[in-house]
Amino acid sequence: MCRCGAPIGRKGSPSEVECDYDSEEGGETVAQNKKLEEYFDEELFIPEMKASSKKEALEELVDALAETGKIHDKSLILEMLERREALGSTGIGNGVAIPHGRSLAANQIMVVFGKSSKGVEFDSMDDKPVNLFFLILAPPQDRFNQYLPFLGKVVELIKDGAVRSRLAEVGSFQDFLKVLSEGQNDE
Amino acid sequence: MNEKLRLLVGLQDLDMMIRESKEEEETLGFKIQNLEKLHAARKHLAKQIDEEWLKLYERVAARHGRAVVPVEGGICLGCFMGLPTSAQIKPKPDEDIRVCENCGRILYWL
């Protein structure tokens, strides 16, 4: 079974060509070669979020995407994110939340970073407010299988307390990229 | 967007979420607490979809993994075949759902 859920037949069989994902091996290579900072975009960097609740935080992050025209249906994305939160909060503790999911309303992997100095209650695993938000969206047809490896990279990076402290202080997108780049080098 | 199509897209998003929840928990360390709630939400959503379209969705999903696929530049991104010229224009919200004549997947215009 392919990651997309499609049955995979033997090479050359009709079922093999039904799957529109690239092979896992090839996909992993592409995802591993792409640097974390290459996924981020200055337009999707929110240096100080206004939100004061979980709902508002999700809306503010999705609004950033809608304003750049990168998503076609904001409400579909919000519905998906709210369902994902119902499954278990993406507030992973230590002041970090990584709301994420796949939706047809997204046509490529997109990431929004938002920072809240005052913190937002997000039902986090440690019940502490969230200061750092990474909204990660991917289309279902993630041809190069970048989504889960990318999500894993963000989770790994953010485990480092020094990286979290530095991210909490960044004031510009350039500073943010620098922290990401140096954080990966330290791993 | 056509309301029927919207429901089908929501259903597919839920199916993807259910499918990947195990990997998220085991590999990435996210806490998955309410999988049964998600199954219940799927059931609730499925009830709102016409039987005819739900059957089509389930049949195509079982065969291809994903039943609803985007159309970009007149190409079905499920089978990568060009749609007939007459079917390439984005349908109006009140028009019925379109299906790829080649692979049978349900089409969603980006």
**Nearest Cβ partner of B27 from A5, A83, A152?**
A152
Q: Among this protein's residues, is A72 annotated catalytic?
A: no
pLDDT average, residue stretch B49-74: 93
| Residues 6 or more apart in contact with residue A17 via CB below 8 angstroms | none
> What are the angstrom distances between the C-alpha of B95 and each of A120, B28, B89, B91, B92?
42, 41, 12, 6, 5
The sign of the CA dihedral A67, A71, A72, A75 is: negative
Q: In chain B, where are the structural domains located?
A: 3-109
Task: State the Cα angle at A167 between A164 and A170, rounded to 5°.
Answer: 160
A5 touches chain B (CB under 8 A): yes
Token couple for B9: 């897209």
Predicted pLDDT of residue A33: 66
Predicted pLDDT of residue A8: 43
User: Above 60 in pLDDT, residue B16?
Assistant: yes
User: Above 50 in pLDDT, residue A173?
Assistant: yes
**CB contacts, 8 Å: A84 with chain B:** 17
The rounded distance, in Å, linking the Cα atoms of A13 and B97 is: 30
Q: Taking CB atoms and an 8 Å limit, are B72 and A87 in contact across chains?
A: no
Total domains present in chain A: 1
What is the three-class DSSP state of A155?
A: helix
Looking at domain B3-109, which of 3.10.450.50, 1.10.287.1490, 1.20.1280.260, 1.20.210.10 is its CATH number? 1.10.287.1490
Instruction: Give the number of other CB atoms < 10 A from CB of residue B39.
Output: 12
Task: State the Cα angle at B43 between B39 and B48, rounded to 5°.
Answer: 145
Q: Of A89, A97, A98, A100, which is the active-site residue?
A: A100
**CB contacts, 8 Å: A148 with chain B:** 20, 23-24, 27-28
Which tops the pLDDT comparison, A73 or A77?
A77
DSSP state of B58: H
Predicted pLDDT of residue A10: 39
Beta bridge partners of A96: A93, A132
Burial (Cβ within 10 Å: 0-12, 13-18, ≥19) of residue B10: buried
Q: Taking CB atoms and an 8 Å limit, are A76 and B80 in contact across chains?
A: no
Instruction: Give the number of other CB atoms < 10 A from CB of residue A6.
Output: 21
Among A137, A133, A83, CA closest to B32: A83
Residue A34 — very low, low, confident or very high, per pLDDT cuts 50/70/90?
A: confident
The rounded distance, in Å, linking the Cα atoms of A131 and A167 is: 9
A153 touches chain B (CB under 8 A): no
The rounded distance, in Å, linking the Cα atoms of B32 and B110 is: 31
Q: Taking CB atoms and an 8 Å limit, are B65 and A6 in contact across chains?
A: yes
Q: Taking CB atoms and an 8 Å limit, are B66 and A2 in contact across chains?
A: no
DSSP state of A135: E
User: Above 60 in pLDDT, residue A4?
Assistant: no
A66 touches chain B (CB under 8 A): no
Chain A, chain B: beta-carbon pairs less than 8 Å apart: 105
ipTM above 0.90, yes or no: no
Instruction: Look at the block and give the residue holding tokens 């529109």.
Output: A20
Q: What percentage of chain B has pLDDT greater than the value 70? A: 99
Residue A91 belongs to domain spanning: 34-186
- Mean pLDDT of chain A, nearest integer: 82
Among B47, B78, B48, CA closest to B61: B78
Question: How close does chain A come to B98, measured CA to CA in Å?
Answer: 16
- φ, ψ of residue A149 in degrees (nearest 5): -60, -40
**Nearest Cβ partner of B37 from A73, A86, A141?**
A86
The rounded distance, in Å, linking the Cα atoms of A4 and A15 is: 13
Residue A69 — very low, low, confident or very high, per pLDDT cuts 50/70/90?
A: confident
User: Above 90 in pLDDT, residue A64?
Assistant: yes
The CATH number linked to A49 is 3.40.930.10
Evaluate whether residue A16 is within a structural domain: no
Q: Taking CB atoms and an 8 Å limit, are B70 and A7 in contact across chains?
A: no
Write the pLDDT tens digit of every residue in A81-140: 998 998 889 999 999 999 999 988 888 899 999 999 999 999 999 999 999 999 999 988
**CB contacts, 8 Å: A125 with chain B:** 31
Q: Taking CB atoms and an 8 Å limit, are B19 and A5 in contact across chains?
A: yes
Instruction: Look at the block and give the residue holding tokens 């049949």.
Output: B59
